[in-house]
Structure 1
Amino acid sequence: RHQENLDIKVVWPGMVKFDRDQLARTKRWIDEFNNGELPADEFQVHIYWNRTYAQHESYKQAIDFSGGATHPESWGGLRQYAENMVNHIHGLFGNIPIIVGEIGYDRDGSPQQARPIGNTPSERVQADWLVRSYLALFAAGIDQCIQYMIDHVWAGGGGWLFGSSGLIDGNNSIALIPWYFTAGTLEVLQNATFVQVVPSGRNDVEIYEMRDGNKTIYVVWSPTAENNVVQNYQLPVTGTSATLMELQTNQPTTAKTGISINNGTVSVTVTETPKFIVVE
């Protein structure tokens, strides 16, 4: 590197799959030819969560989308998968930052489509699954996540792979539900750190605890893909005031509602769209 460019980061080319054999070959190569030092500042992996990707370890299967997209808690879960990946890569190359360089779902009829669930349209399912993917990767210790991609290939999308994976339409004029959900999630969690997965006592309720200064943020959702709703779930919290922050389909900010804490719990209607309860 030139002296004036010391701040430039070198990112390892994106692996299409967490493949232990491929990583072992990489480790052997750098041990032999580069004194054991990975010639990069950050490590990059691509993840497209679908049935084929989740079930196979070889990178050769990672480019097979024929199994169809699936929600991020399926097949053992994206969080556990990414956590295993982080631990393995750190074990080989030290505490190097890890980037997920591509992740996403299509809206229209491609193999990576987030398909409609009942009367919930694909665009809303896509938005839900993206936010749940961000949360899973955050909890797993991923340092940065890049959603692929910012806009549809063409105005109106398209039924081919990555043709409708955008947060905005192809003419850059229409923000879509995934855009608003992503913006709302950043509003709440931009300065937060992950604390723990909180046991919910139910298979159909997932809870993450985050921290932002003196605020505790609980993220609650149903990790299912069947339009599941859990009414009046009693969420244990620690604090004296609570605010419910809900993602909106047509606004980049969350809808905020003060909620009561009764005997150390708040009552929440849990759906497949994550909700944020901020407690102080």
Structure 2
Amino acid sequence: MKKSTLILFVFFFSPFALLSQNIIPLKPEMLINLSAQGDATLLINESKKAGDPKKTGKTGIPEGNFFGSYNKMYYPIRVVIDLGIEHSLTDLFVFDTHNKDTLHIYTGNPKDWKKAGFISLGGYNKWSSLSIGQSTRYLMIEFPSTKANISEIVLYGKALGEIPLTPKWTYHKPPLFDSFLGVNGLHNQPLQKLSCVGSVREYHPWQWDEGNEDLTYEGYPNNQFGWNPSWVGGKWPWNFDKVYADFQLVQLDISPCLQQTAPYMQIEKGKKDWKPISKGDNPEDPKSYREHARYMYQFAARYGSTKVPSQNLMLQAENQKVSGLNRIKYLENGNEPDKWWRGREGYFTPYELAAMCSADYDGHQGALGEGYGAKTADPNIKFVMGGLANMSLDYIKAMKLWSDTYRSGSFPADVLNVHHYSNISGGQGANLKQAISPEDDSLKYKLAEIVEYRDRYLPDKEIWLSEFGYDTNPNSPQGVKPIGDNDVFEVQAQWLVRSYLEIAAAGLDRAHIYFFADLNSKNPNKFNSSGIVNEKWNKFQPKISWHYIYCMKNALTGYRFASEISSNHPDVNIYKFEKDDDASCIYVAWCKTSLDKKISNYQLDIEEDKGVQILELSSTERYATETDAKCDSEGNILLNLSERPVLIRTACSPSK
């Protein structure tokens, strides 16, 4: 391939493309927002208006400002441009809109940035520039504060070699639907009711396994872990060996989410949500997380599938020295590490989380020594990165850049993990106002962006949405409201089932509802009534959602998502699920509206119209109600559709 200096712009050729022979074409995939704040693509999305600012008068007025955040905690905000190969750079132009500040420009690489200069801002809708005159693959723009406002950049130079192609798309096999269905829960909740799903993301504080409320316990380096019995004492100390064995007996996969900070690690008493590092440690250095990485090793050693030397086990005297019990397949190293509401001490930047994951995954590729990292103890265990409170692809891209730089491209997690709640606020921020359906939220398409990235850049990874859900208290900011004849319990049930279906269609591997049981359904604060069963004191009485989910699990056990089927109707979704071992398939159809919409005698045109059963979700049973399908004179299946999904089981040819 010849070196190219043609003028290309994002998504299309610009009419200004022939004006200059050295504008570098910048694409969204080249931008890596190290702060994961704001939309950095706004810096390159108005190339037609930007034109060629080096030629006087050959430009328009770009309008869409890049803005990171009003929260000073995130500053300075840094955006990296990865050009793929070395380029000889001559100039950087930025469109200065308002306010005074200074942009700092760096070249070099993420391990060794070199100051290339700065651009003083303070004009009003005018171009400012910096002469670079260096060869580099990476360029970093640093925004010191909220006053650094620019709406477009134009970069000049030329490639010094062949520009690499975008990685090819890699097929990722969909999971079995019964294992895909998950819920967030606790180890001591009733198994017979948790079994409405296939997996449980278990909230598991570190202190349960080490230290608990013992103020005399010194911890690292002389750790003493306890699981049988655990550090939680009292009349009935917990025995996690038995807990995890009981989950196995009912074929319910439990995935511990190890979270918070052990008391001996807390820099200030009670700050259990701060980073698990010691005072003075560098949060971007994997060595700062050695205590946490040892905990991950010990947990994986006991409950993973690989036996380790007994001398490596660090246990309380009451705990038998055993390892390789083979009780868990997944292990998660935190919960919502991007917790902005805990301030800078609790919030992990992408680089900081990547550093902790590197320590927790394999002891930073062995650099921490023996006895650190989950994969060091059990190479077979799947390591889940702590679920991000914000569903941010930018955050994951920044973690990958850190991994490319400090781990030679080895990403320190087997599962990419995010959270998202469908509402008009766009997530679970402090200003939640109103829940919306997954379709109104475009949930499938938001998740598909992360899936597309995974399939090209991290093809061997799973993706989980490990928190989503709705409250049944209508006064909650994440609460559902009655719709037509449907009360809040029916609406929650419909939207949860539809969320599962949209998440599966997006291409994810697991989805966990938050939460299994209500915390206090009368409390209108968010997430107090998000359970699919009632509170413990109400004996975990199932809601309608519990029944619908159980019905769907029983109907779709052994099936995988196959494809979306054209419905020829703007308000109808139809998804197809197939089995691996035979030609059986199930279609799921529903009205994707939020208006209590109903469609009578909808015609479903499928190849096989003999022996077709209609499965309707039951609000009182664990199994769907089955009836034979009715057909019209042309052989179409006739369905009465509503906003509650209906399943259609038939024999069919598997999709290719």
TM-score normalised by structure 1 residue count: 0.91
- 1:166 and 2:531 matched: yes
Mark the runs of 5 or more structure 2 residues left unpaired by the alignment: 1-296, 308-377, 652-656
Q: Could you tell me which of 489, 501, 505 is aligned with 1:139?
A: 505
Q: Could you tell me which of 397, 420, 445 is aligned with 1:24?
A: 397
One-letter code aligned to 1:253: Y
Other-structure match for 2:548: 181
- 1:51 and 2:424 matched: yes
State the Cα distance separating 1:198 from its structure 2 match. 1.1
Q: Could you tell me which of 388, 400, 417 is aligned with 1:15?
A: 388
Other-structure match for 1:58: none
User: How do 1:202-221 residues align onto structure 2 when only pairs under 5 Å count?
Assistant: 202-212=569-579, 213-221=582-590
Decide whether the 8 Å contact of 2:414 with 2:460 is kept in 1: no
State the Cα distance separating 1:93 from its structure 2 match. 2.4
User: How do 1:85-104 residues align onto structure 2 when only pairs under 5 Å count?
Assistant: 85-104=450-469
Q: Could you tell me which of 239, 242, 267 is aligned with 2:638?
A: 267
Other-structure match for 2:605: 236
Q: What secondary structure is seen at the aligned counterpart in 2 of 1:51?
A: coil
One-letter code aligned to 2:493: A
Q: Which moved more, 1:257-266 or 1:210-219?
A: 257-266
Decide whether the 8 Å contact of 2:576 with 2:585 is kept in 1: yes
User: How do 1:98-137 residues align onto structure 2 when only pairs under 5 Å count?
Assistant: 98-108=463-473, 109-137=475-503
User: Whole-Å Cα distance in 1 between the matches of residues 393 and 618 of structure 2?
Assistant: 40
State the Cα distance separating 1:65 from its structure 2 match. 4.8
Q: Deviations over 1:127-177 (max 9, x none)?
A: 0000000001111111011111110003x4531111010010002331110
User: Whole-Å Cα distance in 2 between the matches of residues 141 and 275 of structure 1?
Assistant: 21
User: Whole-Å Cα distance in 1 between the matches of residues 636 and 431 of structure 2?
Assistant: 43
State the Cα distance separating 1:22 from its structure 2 match. 1.9
Decide whether the 8 Å contact of 2:517 with 2:540 is kept in 1: no
Q: Deviations over 1:14-72 (max 9, x none)?
A: 1122323322321221122222211112111111111222xxxxxxx642452421001
Higher relative contact order (CA 8 A, sep 6+): 1
Decide whether the 8 Å contact of 1:105 with 1:114 is kept in 2: yes
User: How do 1:48-87 residues align onto structure 2 when only pairs under 5 Å count?
Assistant: 48-53=421-426, 62-75=428-441, 77-87=442-452
Instruction: Count matched residues.
Output: 271
Structure with more of its chain in helix, by fraction: 1
Other-structure match for 1:38: 411
Q: 1:256 to 1:209 in 2, by over 3 A?
A: same
Other-structure match for 1:192: 559
User: Whole-Å Cα distance in 1 between the matches of residues 591 and 559 of structure 2?
Assistant: 21
Q: What secondary structure is seen at the aligned counterpart in 2 of 1:74?
A: coil
User: Whole-Å Cα distance in 2 between the matches of residues 137 and 82 of structure 1?
Assistant: 7
Decide whether the 8 Å contact of 1:27 with 1:92 is kept in 2: no
Q: Which moved more, 1:196-205 or 1:85-94?
A: 85-94
TM-score normalised by structure 2 residue count: 0.40
State the Cα distance separating 1:196 from its structure 2 match. 1.4
Other-structure match for 2:350: none
Q: Choose 1 or 2 for highest CA Rg.
A: 2
Q: Deviations over 1:88-139 (max 9, x none)?
A: 2343323301111111111102111121113311111000000000001111
Decide whether the 8 Å contact of 1:86 with 1:141 is kept in 2: yes
One-letter code aligned to 1:68: Q
